[in-house]
Amino acid sequence: RPLPEGRRATLASALELEGTVLREGPLTQFVANNLERRIRLSGAPRGEPPAGGGGSSIPAIDPGALQDVVALAGQVAAQVDELLRNVHCGLQALTALSVGCIQTYRDGVESLGEAADLSIRAMYALVARCEELDRAMQPVPALAKRIRDMKGTLERLEGLCK
């Protein structure tokens, strides 16, 4: 419930007499002088002098205002609970996503290791086969020389026969 401008100024002036009033934009803060004493005075039953002595210049607390404060505090607490639940759920989702990424990375590294191992084995097998082929091909140059010699001999024989 916004207060009319005139009432707001009167209230602020009265508060300045009882403590420090700080204004930051639409926010007004009030720090009471002798706050501890005032709290004791506000808790004393009407008609009884307070334990610290002295007269009370603090007006009675409006029960409706207290109920409003309690209701607002309950709303704030519910909103804070909801916020914390949302943060908790968000953190759980992020944690699950992080765990999934780490597991995927681990699986990829393991798969890469296995693939590299298989590739190395295949390369060694290929090298071994190439060495076998090289050993098997060693008689080929000698055979080629013999074939050339035979071809030359055949050509000479053909030349004699003509």
User: pTM for this structure?
Assistant: 0.41
* Chain mean position to CA 124: 46
Phi–psi pair at 48, nearest 5 degrees? -95, 140
- Full pLDDT tens readout for the chain, 162 residues: 454 454 555 666 667 777 888 888 888 777 778 877 777 777 766 655 555 555 556 677 778 888 888 899 999 999 999 999 999 999 999 999 999 999 999 999 999 999 999 999 999 999 999 999 999 999 999 999 999 999 999 999 988 887
DSSP string, 11-77: HHHHHHHHEEEEEETTEEEEEETTHHHHHHHHHSPTTSPPTT-S---SPPPPHHHHHHHHHHHHHHH
